[in-house]
A and B are shown apart, each in its own frame.
Chain A
């Protein structure tokens, strides 16, 4: 499956009490197009979606915070996972959409394929659902989403997705509008 198909299939698991933070570039455009609005759509701050999710999870402990991040963003912000591993807000969930490329900037390879994500997450002391290969076993996705979003502890789901460098249209909302709409819904 492609990243956008994975994101679209998340839809039925998203309630009014789910707050989504999506990483810059394609991932946030896909979240904007395929998931209930409004959410936190990042235009920049590459590497920071997990930190923003941590802050949001601490401020809104009654809500589920779901961070959807590309592999490039995740690797850039890797050290923030140590902070998350230390504080572990139970309502913070992270999905890594690993296409092993910087799709947004034209599909240049990332070094993601070097990483053993499960060992990495274990090293951080973070609960993980496992690594899913959406290409080989798409049917397991829905079960994984259910577990992730009902889990009572910080949980990460790493998903290998197909390369897809098709760019969606830019998000039409101005950043300030994104903030205002999101904060009005809480």
Chain B
């Protein structure tokens, strides 16, 4: 389990000043902490593709924004990836909740996307990491390095209960 405040401190140390997205219950604690944060502002977007637009605009203005979304949003977001973030080679860090796994079977609305989440990311050509456990800093270090080196979108998958 990773404490929300630790993640936010990490992101703030890595020069992120803005965040945006559409909530997922897996990020409830993180979003509460974000609301209290003096270092990172959160913009409540109405859609995930809008959130990509905001983050890309912020980057073009020379500042860094990350996204927090549910994996269902990976389906909404397609054209914003392929014809904006990826096309213009804009680095973008996205936390994606990994819903639809075994303990989520009582939420059928997440099952199909849960089954194809990694295939969807592979199809977009987006590198991803499943962040859990003690080595989360190392995972984020690696993801951010890849994001900067390739000027690319990177996703961090977050399963239920990982961020508290």
A residues apposed to B, CB below 8 Å: 19, 21, 24, 40, 42-60, 77, 79-80, 82-83, 86-87, 175-176, 178-179, 182-183, 186
B57 within 8 A of A: yes
B residues apposed to A, CB below 8 Å: 18, 41, 43-47, 49-63, 65, 79-80, 82-84, 87-90
Asked if A48 meets B87 with Cβ closer than 8 Å, knowing A21-B57, A83-B43, A87-B43, the reply is: no
Known: A55-B54, A59-B57, A175-B87. 16 other contacts (CB 8 A): A42-B84, A45-B84, A48-B49, A48-B52, A49-B53, A52-B56, A52-B60, A55-B65, A57-B61, A60-B62, A79-B46, A80-B46, A80-B53, A176-B88, A179-B88, A179-B90
CB < 8 Å: which of B18, B44, B53, B89 contacts A45? Answer: B53
In this complex, what residue of A is CB-closest to B80? A45
Chain B residues contacting A59 (CB-CB under 8 Å) are: 18, 57-63
Asked if A51 meets B50 with Cβ closer than 8 Å, knowing A46-B79, A186-B62, the reply is: yes
* A83 close to B50 (CB less than 8 A): yes
Task: Show 16 residue pairs from A and B whose CB-CB distance is below 8 angstroms, ordered by the A residue.
Answer: A47-B49, A48-B80, A51-B45, A51-B50, A54-B43, A54-B57, A55-B53, A55-B54, A55-B65, A58-B57, A59-B18, A59-B59, A59-B62, A60-B61, A80-B45, A186-B62
Q: Which 3 A-B pairs have the closest CB atoms?
A: A44-B83, A55-B57, A59-B61
* B57 close to A83 (CB less than 8 A): no
* A179 close to B89 (CB less than 8 A): yes
Give Cα A84–Cα B41 distance, bound, in whole angstroms: 15
- Among B53, B58, B83, residue most surrounded by chain A Cβ atoms (within 10 Å): B53
Chain A residues contacting B54 (CB-CB under 8 Å) are: 51-52, 54-55, 58, 83
In this complex, what residue of A is CB-closest to B83? A44
Chain B residues contacting A175 (CB-CB under 8 Å) are: 87-89
Give Cα A132–Cα B83 distance, bound, in whole angstroms: 32
CB < 8 Å: which of A47, A48, A183 contacts B62? Answer: A183
Chain B residues contacting A77 (CB-CB under 8 Å) are: 50, 53
Give Cα A97–Cα B63 distance, bound, in whole angstroms: 29
CB < 8 Å: which of B51, B55, B63, B89 contacts A176? Answer: B89
Give Cα A142–Cα B56 distance, bound, in whole angstroms: 31
Chain A residues contacting B41 (CB-CB under 8 Å) are: 58
- Among A47, A59, A60, residue most surrounded by chain B Cβ atoms (within 10 Å): A59
Asked if A83 meets B46 with Cβ closer than 8 Å, knowing A45-B83, A48-B53, the reply is: yes
- Among B41, B61, B65, residue most surrounded by chain A Cβ atoms (within 10 Å): B61
Chain B residues contacting A182 (CB-CB under 8 Å) are: 60
In this complex, what residue of B is CB-closest to A179? B88
Give Cα A60–Cα B17 distance, bound, in whole angstroms: 13
